[in-house]
């Protein structure tokens, strides 16, 4: 339900810029249905609503609590915190931008650890990411995206491969992933990401001054 509400609220037109993550995190999109969906930002800032139903087989160490999830996802808090600092009204951001994950699936090890798709076995990984790449190309075509901003190197490389394979000349550019596991993200991630968005012309698209206004 929250994912449908997110799409209905913010995907009402073509988008010039598509921000691209890799796949859901256990405390982000897996809880709320929104990419980088840290519960507070989804609930209180985006004002997304809806019931999240539990999967038939729920990992005992990663219960699905939906919008009531009390644990903050650092990546999501950083990403949406940056967007909120740039555009206090989310409608301003979504006028020209949208956020999407390359892969919609979450994979968990027995310990509860998040297993990113690139860590899956070879043939299984390539089949999955091949299908995800084809779906991404369809999204880019449908929204008439002019720039893909990938969060993290893996998403950037996969997006480039997918769009090139589909014959799409849409540029793909990267910014560091906001995950705390990324050492670069723990030292001024917001400032570095803001500067990169300035270089890419995204701040200008959002109606902000070049110095980050």
Range of the domain at 161: 10-21+71-206
Q: Is residue 59 part of a domain?
A: no
Q: Is residue 39 part of a domain?
A: no
Mean pLDDT of the chain: 95
Q: Is residue 197 part of a domain?
A: yes
Sign of CA dihedral 198, 201, 206, 210: positive
Q: Is residue 147 part of a domain?
A: yes
**pLDDT at residue 117, rounded to an integer:** 92
Q: Is residue 106 part of a domain?
A: yes
User: Can you give the pLDDT of all 213 residues of the chain as single tens digits?
Assistant: 999 999 999 999 999 999 999 999 999 999 999 999 999 999 999 999 999 999 999 999 999 999 999 999 999 999 999 999 999 999 999 999 999 999 999 999 999 999 999 899 888 899 999 999 999 999 999 999 999 999 999 999 999 999 999 999 999 999 999 999 888 889 899 999 999 999 999 999 999 976 544
The whole model's pTM is what? 0.95
**pLDDT at residue 210, rounded to an integer:** 64
Q: What is the CATH number of the domain that holds 16?
A: 3.40.470.10
Tell me the backbone φ, ψ of residue 103, rounded to 5 degrees: -115, 130
Q: Is residue 132 part of a domain?
A: yes
Q: Is residue 42 part of a domain?
A: no
Instruction: Kindly report, residue by residue over 126-169, the tens digit of the pLDDT.
Output: 999 999 999 999 999 999 999 999 999 999 999 999 999 999 99
**pLDDT at residue 181, rounded to an integer:** 86
Q: What is the total count of domains within the chain?
A: 1
Q: Is residue 45 part of a domain?
A: no
**pLDDT at residue 153, rounded to an integer:** 95
């Amino acid at each position: 339900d929250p994912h449908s509400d997110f799409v209905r609220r913010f995907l009402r037109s073509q988008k010039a810029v598509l921000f691209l993550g890799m796949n859901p995190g256990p405390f982000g999109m897996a809880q709320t249905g929104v990419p980088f969906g840290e519960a507070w930002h989804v609930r209180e800032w985006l004002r997304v609503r809806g019931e999240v139903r539990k999967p038939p087989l729920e990992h005992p160490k990663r219960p699905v609590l939906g919008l009531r999830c009390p644990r903050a996802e650092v990546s999501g808090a950083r990403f949406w915190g940056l967007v909120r600092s740039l555009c206090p009204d989310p409608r301003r951001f979504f006028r020209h931008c949208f956020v999407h994950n390359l892969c919609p699936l979450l994979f968990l090890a027995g310990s509860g650890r998040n297993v990113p798709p690139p860590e899956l076995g070879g043939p299984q990984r390539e089949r999955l990411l091949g299908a995800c790449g084809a779906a991404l190309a369809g999204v880019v075509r449908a929204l008439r995206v002019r720039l893909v901003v990938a969060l993290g190197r893996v998403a950037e490389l996969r997006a480039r491969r997918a769009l090139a394979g589909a014959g799409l000349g849409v540029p793909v550019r990267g910014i560091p992933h906001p995950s705390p596991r990324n050492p670069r993200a723990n030292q001024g991630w917001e400032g570095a990401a803001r500067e990169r968005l300035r270089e890419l012309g995204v701040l200008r698209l959002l109606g902000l001054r070049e110095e980050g206004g």
